[in-house]
Structure 1
């Protein structure tokens, strides 16, 4: 069973994720969950175990790593609370692939981030490792500095595949938010945000 949801399925899955966000934080912190628009299919801290259980279900599914706690994006740990607040976040399902491991997971579409970003745990579970004598880079953030290395990650959005440079964090920050940044992604797609409809529209650029 393909783990790549259709656009309609993705919208419904994201609605499910929004509705159940607090429950997931209460029960499944720091675990991968496999889910669809109707139910939680499997959960575990082991990515391969969740993928195997989800595949065995015979249903289309997506993977989400539940944060350890509810906080702002860790690389920019500051958030302003509006008077009128919505639980919707501009997440979109992206398939990440490295060798024989692939997962379709929600990533926060962030026009303020130059690079896409994956956490230490997600990178390790995808099978990434540091090369001998490879040095980490440092990024300045509001909360200090974070260590990262660059990996060229194969991504698929709405059936369109491409490779984007991605910052793989080298320390466990406690927050596991994945970011979809501008580099390559915003060259391949025109992206429209429709917050009142809780929807993001990706349109492939003709010349990309």
Structure 2
């Protein structure tokens, strides 16, 4: 079966994730979990294993990398206890592919992030490696400095494929939150946040349909 959910299926799956996110943080921190609107399918610390388990189930699924921390919100090394009565995060399903590894995962849509961000763990599991003599870059954050390198990756959102840069962290910051940032992504989609309805709406910009993807 295809593992591409419809928009309605995707919304229902994300509702399940938001309802159960705190339980996942309690029991499966720093693990990949495969889930759908009906519940948890499988969990593992190994990306290839979780993909095999999820595919073997025959169920529609998405992958979520559960952060290490039980803090409600985390931005790199800074943790904030929730002060909001509306326990919702603007997560969205994104397919990412590097070479022979493809993952349908869940990313936090972050309009304040210039680049999309993946953790050190996920980058390793996708097969990224540093080139000989390659130097890390430094980013200034509210929690201090972090090291990262830029990698281009294939992304698919709502059936639209493109290549976008991601910042691959070079240190374990204590959190594994995947961020979907502005670079390329926000140029190709109009994005609307509807917190009251617990929805993020992505609308493909037709003026980008004929443009050549960024080369890897």
TM-score, scaled relative to structure 1 = 0.95
User: 2:77·2:175 contact (CA, 8 Å) conserved in 1?
Assistant: no
Q: CA RMSD in A?
A: 1.4
Which residue is 1:190 aligned to?
Answer: 190
Question: Which stretches in structure 2 are left out of the alignment for 5+ residues?
Answer: 209-216
Measured in 1, the distance between the counterparts of 2:61 and 2:82 equals 32
User: 2:96·2:102 contact (CA, 8 Å) conserved in 1?
Assistant: yes
Question: Which stretches in structure 1 are left out of the alignment for 5+ residues?
Answer: none
Which residue is 1:163 aligned to?
Answer: 163
TM-score, scaled relative to structure 2 = 0.92
Measured in 1, the distance between the counterparts of 2:58 and 2:82 equals 41
User: 1:3·1:103 contact (CA, 8 Å) conserved in 2?
Assistant: no
Measured in 1, the distance between the counterparts of 2:191 and 2:61 equals 24
User: 2:116·2:166 contact (CA, 8 Å) conserved in 1?
Assistant: yes
> Offset of 1:49 from its aligned partner?
0.6
Q: Name segments (4+ residues, structure 1) moved above 2 Å.
A: 1-4, 70-82
Which residue is 1:206 aligned to?
Answer: 206
Kindly tell me: are residues 57 and 78 of structure 1, through their superposed partners in 2, closer, same or farther at Cα, counting changes over 3 Å? Answer: closer
1:123 aligned to 2:111? Answer: no
Measured in 1, the distance between the counterparts of 2:4 and 2:82 equals 34
User: 2:76·2:174 contact (CA, 8 Å) conserved in 1?
Assistant: no
